[in-house]
Amino acid sequence: MPQQPLAQVPHDATWFWQEHGSCRSVDPTLFFHPQNERGTARIRRDRTAKAICARCPVRLDCADYAIRAREPYGVWGGLSEDDRERIYRRLDSRNYPRQRGDGLRAAGSEVDRAISPGAFGVTAH
C-alpha cells in the first residue's frame, strides 16, 4: 500500500474522542493482528474488535481520523485494514481528505457497512 508522507498525517487540535473510546478498557491486541495471523483467527479477532467499535460513542471520530491519517494497521472506527484499504484505493492522493469530517465524507456508506450485520457474518431473516 502506498504510504502517505508523515508530514501529511493530520494533527487534530483535539483528540478528546480518544479519551472516550470503548477500547480503552479492553485488550489492545484485539485491534491489531499478530504477525502471520491469517484466515479464521483474523476474521474472528476483527469481528470482536468491530463489535466493540459498534458500541463506541466516538466511532465516527475514530473512523474519520483513521481514514485521514491513512492508518495502515488495526481496526479503527469499526473499519478493518481491508475495509480501509478499499476506501484508500478510491481516494485521490493529490486531493487526499485532511480536514476533520472529510474522511467520513470520502468513505460514505462504507463506515456503516463495516459494522452492519453482514460484516459480522449475520444475515437478516
Q: From the CB of 122, what's the least distance to ligand SF4, in Å? A: 19
Closest residue by Cα to residue 69 from 52, 84, 83: 84
Task: Tell me the window of 17-25, 38-46, 100-108, 117-125 that interacts with ligand SF4 (CB under 6 A).
Answer: 17-25
Considering only residues 81 to 100 of the shown chain, the ones binding ligand SF4 according to CB under 6 A are none
Other Cβ atoms closer than 10 A to 96: 17
Told to check if 22 binds ligand SF4 by CB under 6 A, we report: yes
Kindly provide the b/e burial profile for residues 54-89, where b requires at least 16 CB atoms within 10 angstroms of the residue's own CB. Answer: bebebbbbbbbbbbbbbbeebbbbbbbbebbeebbe
Told to check if 67 binds ligand SF4 by CB under 6 A, we report: no
User: Phi, psi (5° rounding) for residue 103?
Assistant: -65, -45
Using CB under 6 A as the binding criterion, the count of chain residues that bind ligand SF4 stands at: 12
Q: Which of 23, 67, 106, 107 binds ligand SF4 (CB under 6 A)?
A: 23
Q: From the CB of 25, what's the least distance to ligand SF4, in Å? A: 9
Task: Tell me the window of 33-41, 50-58, 85-93, 106-114 that interacts with ligand SF4 (CB under 6 A).
Answer: 50-58
Site residues (vs ligand SF4, CB under 6 A):
21-23, 31, 52-53, 56, 58-59, 62, 76-77
